[in-house]
A and B are shown apart, each in its own frame.
Chain A
């Protein structure tokens, strides 16, 4: 890597051109909290780094059409400190809050977290549960895709050469809706999730669940959006039976691995336990909205 080239373009178009025209392996540099680690540990050897932090669109959070547009390279801390995001999407904020340490969150972004495509990424399950849409800019113009379509396997995304995620859109929230993210780690902080669960749901005025999305992280090669788990909640007030159904559906959807962070058996069990806890938390919040 003695001839690694670093570029810091000021427009998306320039960034796309650099990436599309790269002759060797190229990486986008947002927060750097994955890319720099991977270079340090010799997992990747790029010949070009494209630092996108000078591009205004990817660094700002704006209200849009009742929802939010979050730049792909906004540092986690900024998301955590955004009052309106905290109110509307506490689960998304929770996911961001659990990435690394305060130091890491000073730099890490949800764009990087998603495109690094670790099965255990913390911000991805709540973004999937939220129904977030990624806006992708590439050599052929711009397109949109749901967040769950981006990771295709550990370390792999569906982005074509030259494509960058510019921002994410979180849709407007109806009343009585909220979300939550919980994960299991052996320590209180600093661990990669052994299991992560993001739940977003909406209720009617009587407290019955009218819509739900349940996403599981760290229990499959990519985040799983589990329809059966969501269906278990719809039409219920999250009574014991509904929660049991939810837990079973969550556990059934898991196809985890055995590794130094958890066993297959353990992850499958805890997915069910966490699904219940996370759904209840989202429910309590939704009732309060």
Chain B
């Protein structure tokens, strides 16, 4: 029998009863009543408060740590430092990970943990931190990645030799140089009639989840750990904790809480290893909840970049060549996922000649973590600006230029995969038809468009579907539900089984209850866990049919399943009344056991997603302030399992992009310390900053998935800043090249444009 990965059974003509509707999500009732338990909402008897002492220096050797006074403070039950973490060689993935959680030789950023306490109250814990004496030898620091690449820059890690550069035998802050290309760009540029080359820079920003990381760790006397935490990857956390704390995986049970936003920022741990070591030492549960200040200073922000992008086009609109040189800052340790950028930045256009050179550079900031489409929106900010400029220079409508070069099925990408059925053309055409694009630009405003792409991922996923004796169904899911995937997955299970979705309930499993699941990221969750649950449902259906066969005394292949009932496969089998799931369960569980389906697989076949954003802006020419007047997201969802959810993803991503575009950035002082670690000065959009966000869901089904769906979580943030910049360019006369496009920067551009036009 072909596996679901080989033959998804996608049938475009199948009449769907549940998939494609928007039922109330089952976890919603707990969230509107305050009952839902997020990371900070667990309280255990005897629980202690854990607090982390952090380096105030951007770069310093840690000469000594004296915890004796802190340990003696009444109410303090444990103090931990690097001495309480196993020694792991620097420069290995585990070595980096343990050092990010608790500094060893050096503090590498303002906020780097150097010690921690567990005490009976927050005020005692805070007082204890003040009693810990750390002797630092302050070193020169470097923040900006370009400066960090200079030979004179202070070196963060003596062991780093740049990968990808022949003969790199000196310590460097450049972790890797990655060359990726296809075809012959020299030839391509010669063929071009118009060439545009621009430089761009983007400042680091933060995912901005409203819930700070929080966890509760407890330990038994014989070395078993329970960890409750908000995480996008319980198994990933477990296995990494297992590695750095040298504990067996089966001795660590990670239970995910509800999560108050992650967007990639909660795919790595921060306080968790510290809470565990404190709990083991104190022999009591320890809760560590990060403050907002700690979240900004010491979790994983989003990479800042510098890029040079050059593209050439013929008068007929064919893009002949594209070239990019990119620099990504990764903070204190490697792990920016910067290879996404050269792979994705041009990959919606069927380019034959592409050349990219990318660098990952460390500097004295916290190690970056993923955001939606890690490292890609930053460079698409530039690419879609160049494309816009090319369109205007050859007098072509900006969407038409993108249509002319749109990749289609069969295009072999720069990363080696060949596209199956994709919906970029359909998305562009839908954008061209939509009301927003066909409305005239209101006077005084400017309009911009930009396109985006994301691979979407599959990955290791597991799940179980259990049928209860009354025919109702429970699901055990491994992937974190960040926004509503659990209802979409429940809908697919209900659709498969022909039962109302209200008969299905899902739990988010702990690491003991299922096999390994990769992180909830890459827009993979509804797709992959959906695949796994559909597979589980089909296995359960096969078992139901077996049971019906037993009840009827007929061969197994004489039974078929339809709309929630087992039926005889044909009239020749005999006359039997259809049996419902509940009936089969009631009749056979006692004799044959429970009915379930289970699945684990490395899910493949994720269909790439494409989007086109349209935005109208107004710019106050005397102050540089931008007002977003109208915004529309047009994106291919393959199949919108739950349309309201899909719209919500489009709208949320767009508004995150608006913040990134206009105001969000990290400010560092001369001393290498973060100046704006609060929501006051890290300026995310508030409700009065944005209009309603229009959405158009395009559906070009992905035939590799039983319901044709494509991930939608990441594409919505990919083209946003580029579209806004293109719109601002229309208003102001110069298209910005630096993010964020904050008022002081725009006012300068406005004055520049005025001067260029003769005042």
- A touches B in complex, CB < 8 A: yes
Partner among B123, B124, B662, B675 whose Cβ is within 8 Å of the Cβ of A260: B675
Q: Do the beta carbons of A186 and B680 come within 8 Å of each other?
A: no
Q: A233–B675 Cα gap in the complex (Å)?
A: 39
Chain B residues with CB under 8 A of A273: 622-623
A-B contact pairs, 16 of them (CB 8 A): A41-B678, A186-B683, A186-B742, A187-B663, A188-B686, A188-B689, A189-B686, A189-B689, A190-B686, A192-B680, A192-B681, A259-B675, A260-B681, A266-B744, A266-B747, A270-B622
Q: Do the beta carbons of A2 and B127 come within 8 Å of each other?
A: yes
Q: Do the beta carbons of A184 and B744 come within 8 Å of each other?
A: no
Partner among A2, A184, A263, A265 whose Cβ is within 8 Å of the Cβ of B123: A2
Pair count A-B, CB < 8 A: 53
Q: A204–B680 Cα gap in the complex (Å)?
A: 43
Residue in B124, B685, B744, B747 whose Cβ sees the most chain A Cβ within 10 Å = B744
Query: Which residues, 677 to 709 on B, are CB-close (under 8 Å) to A?
Result: 678, 680-681, 683, 685-686, 688-689
Q: Chain B's nearest CB lies how many Å from the CB of A278? A: 13
Is B242 interfacial (CB 8 A cutoff)?
no
Is B293 interfacial (CB 8 A cutoff)?
yes
Is A1 interfacial (CB 8 A cutoff)?
yes
Chain B residues with CB under 8 A of A263: 744
Is B445 interfacial (CB 8 A cutoff)?
no
Q: Do the beta carbons of B744 and A260 come within 8 Å of each other?
A: no
Q: Do the beta carbons of B688 and A1 come within 8 Å of each other?
A: no
Chain B residues with CB under 8 A of A188: 686, 688-689
Given A186-B662, A187-B685, A188-B689: A260 in contact with B742 (beta carbons within 8 A): no
The 0/1 profile, CB within 8 Å of A marked 1, for residues 654-679 of chain B is 00000000110001000000011010
Given A1-B123, A2-B124: A262 in contact with B744 (beta carbons within 8 A): yes
Q: A154–B625 Cα gap in the complex (Å)?
A: 27
Is B652 interfacial (CB 8 A cutoff)?
no
Q: A190–B680 Cα gap in the complex (Å)?
A: 7
12 extra A-B contacts, CB within 8 A, seeds A188-B688, A270-B623: A2-B123, A2-B124, A41-B293, A187-B685, A188-B686, A189-B686, A189-B689, A190-B686, A194-B743, A262-B744, A266-B743, A270-B747
Q: Do the beta carbons of A186 and B743 come within 8 Å of each other?
A: yes
Chain B residues with CB under 8 A of A27: none
Residue in B124, B623, B675 whose Cβ sees the most chain A Cβ within 10 Å = B623
Q: A270–B742 Cα gap in the complex (Å)?
A: 14
Chain B residues with CB under 8 A of A261: 681
Q: A188–B689 Cα gap in the complex (Å)?
A: 6
Q: Do the beta carbons of A187 and B676 come within 8 Å of each other?
A: no
The 0/1 profile, CB within 8 Å of B marked 1, for residues 92-124 of chain A is 000000000000000000000000000000000
Q: A10–B707 Cα gap in the complex (Å)?
A: 69
Q: A180–B663 Cα gap in the complex (Å)?
A: 27
Q: Do the beta carbons of A187 and B686 come within 8 Å of each other?
A: yes
Is A60 interfacial (CB 8 A cutoff)?
no
Query: Which residues, 250 to 289 on A, are CB-close (under 8 Å) to B?
Result: 259-263, 265-266, 269-270, 273
Q: Do the beta carbons of B127 and A184 come within 8 Å of each other?
A: no
Is A191 interfacial (CB 8 A cutoff)?
yes
Q: A266–B667 Cα gap in the complex (Å)?
A: 17
Chain A residues with CB under 8 A of B625: 184, 186
Q: A107–B478 Cα gap in the complex (Å)?
A: 44
Given A260-B676, A273-B622: A187 in contact with B743 (beta carbons within 8 A): no
- Give the top 9 A-B pairs by smallest Cβ distance, nearest first: A266-B744, A260-B667, A188-B688, A273-B622, A2-B123, A260-B676, A186-B663, A260-B675, A188-B689
Q: A194–B747 Cα gap in the complex (Å)?
A: 14
Q: A1–B124 Cα gap in the complex (Å)?
A: 9
Query: Which residues, 225 to 244 on B, are CB-close (under 8 Å) to A?
Result: none
Q: A242–B743 Cα gap in the complex (Å)?
A: 27
User: Nearest A residue to B130 by beta-carbon distance?
Assistant: A42
Q: Chain B's nearest CB lies how many Å from the CB of A114? A: 19
User: Nearest B residue to A273 by beta-carbon distance?
Assistant: B622
Chain A residues with CB under 8 A of B743: 184, 186, 194, 266
Q: Do the beta carbons of A187 and B683 come within 8 Å of each other?
A: yes
Q: Chain B's nearest CB lies how many Å from the CB of A78? A: 23
User: Nearest A residue to B680 by beta-carbon distance?
Assistant: A192
Chain B residues with CB under 8 A of A1: 123
Query: Which residues, 80 to 102 on A, are CB-close (under 8 Å) to B?
Result: none
Chain B residues with CB under 8 A of A190: 680, 683, 686
User: Nearest B residue to A40 by beta-carbon distance?
Assistant: B291
Q: A269–B123 Cα gap in the complex (Å)?
A: 46
Chain B residues with CB under 8 A of A191: 680, 683
Q: A1–B122 Cα gap in the complex (Å)?
A: 11
Q: A1–B747 Cα gap in the complex (Å)?
A: 45
The 0/1 profile, CB within 8 Å of B marked 1, for residues 182-215 of chain A is 0010111111101000000000000000000000
Q: A273–B751 Cα gap in the complex (Å)?
A: 14
Q: A269–B688 Cα gap in the complex (Å)?
A: 26
Q: A187–B742 Cα gap in the complex (Å)?
A: 10
Q: A192–B662 Cα gap in the complex (Å)?
A: 16
Chain B residues with CB under 8 A of A194: 743
Q: A259–B123 Cα gap in the complex (Å)?
A: 32
Query: Which residues, 725 to 759 on B, are CB-close (under 8 Å) to A?
Result: 742-744, 747
Chain A residues with CB under 8 A of B686: 187-190
Q: Do the beta carbons of B688 and A189 come within 8 Å of each other?
A: yes
User: Nearest A residue to B681 by beta-carbon distance?
Assistant: A260
Chain A residues with CB under 8 A of B123: 1-2
Residue in A2, A187, A270 whose Cβ sees the most chain B Cβ within 10 Å = A187
Chain B residues with CB under 8 A of A41: 293, 678
Q: A76–B233 Cα gap in the complex (Å)?
A: 45
User: Nearest A residue to B127 by beta-carbon distance?
Assistant: A2
Query: Which residues, 133 to 183 on A, are CB-close (under 8 Å) to B?
Result: none
Q: A259–B662 Cα gap in the complex (Å)?
A: 17
The 0/1 profile, CB within 8 Å of A marked 1, for residues 553-585 of chain B is 000000000000000000000000000000000
Query: Which residues, 95 to 145 on B, are CB-close (under 8 Å) to A?
Result: 123-124, 127
Q: Chain B's nearest CB lies how many Å from the CB of A165? A: 25
Q: A261–B680 Cα gap in the complex (Å)?
A: 10
User: Nearest A residue to B659 by beta-carbon distance?
Assistant: A187
Chain B residues with CB under 8 A of A189: 686, 688-689
Q: A237–B636 Cα gap in the complex (Å)?
A: 58
Chain A residues with CB under 8 A of B680: 190-192
Chain B residues with CB under 8 A of A259: 675
Q: Chain B's nearest CB lies how many Å from the CB of A227? A: 25
Chain B residues with CB under 8 A of A260: 667, 675-676, 681
Q: Do the beta carbons of B623 and A187 come within 8 Å of each other?
A: no
Q: A191–B747 Cα gap in the complex (Å)?
A: 19
Q: Chain B's nearest CB lies how many Å from the CB of A170? A: 29
Q: A188–B293 Cα gap in the complex (Å)?
A: 23
The 0/1 profile, CB within 8 Å of A marked 1, for residues 614-646 of chain B is 000000001101000000000000000000000
Q: A158–B741 Cα gap in the complex (Å)?
A: 40
Q: Chain A's nearest CB lies how many Å from the CB of B323? A: 34
Chain A residues with CB under 8 A of B124: 2
Q: A269–B751 Cα gap in the complex (Å)?
A: 12
The 0/1 profile, CB within 8 Å of B marked 1, for residues 217-249 of chain A is 000000000000000000000000000000000
Q: Chain A's nearest CB lies how many Å from the CB of B304? A: 16
Chain A residues with CB under 8 A of B742: 186
Q: Chain B's nearest CB lies how many Å from the CB of A106? A: 17
Q: Chain A's nearest CB lies how many Å from the CB of B500? A: 41
User: Nearest A residue to B679 by beta-carbon distance?
Assistant: A190
User: Nearest A residue to B625 by beta-carbon distance?
Assistant: A186
Partner among B622, B689, B747 whose Cβ is within 8 Å of the Cβ of A187: B689
User: Nearest B residue to A41 by beta-carbon distance?
Assistant: B293
User: Nearest A residue to B663 by beta-carbon distance?
Assistant: A186
Q: Chain A's nearest CB lies how many Å from the CB of B153? A: 24
User: Nearest A residue to B665 by beta-carbon distance?
Assistant: A260
Q: Do the beta carbons of A269 and B747 come within 8 Å of each other?
A: yes
Q: A190–B681 Cα gap in the complex (Å)?
A: 9
Q: A186–B741 Cα gap in the complex (Å)?
A: 10
Chain B residues with CB under 8 A of A265: 744
Chain B residues with CB under 8 A of A270: 622-623, 747
User: Nearest B residue to A260 by beta-carbon distance?
Assistant: B667
Chain A residues with CB under 8 A of B678: 41
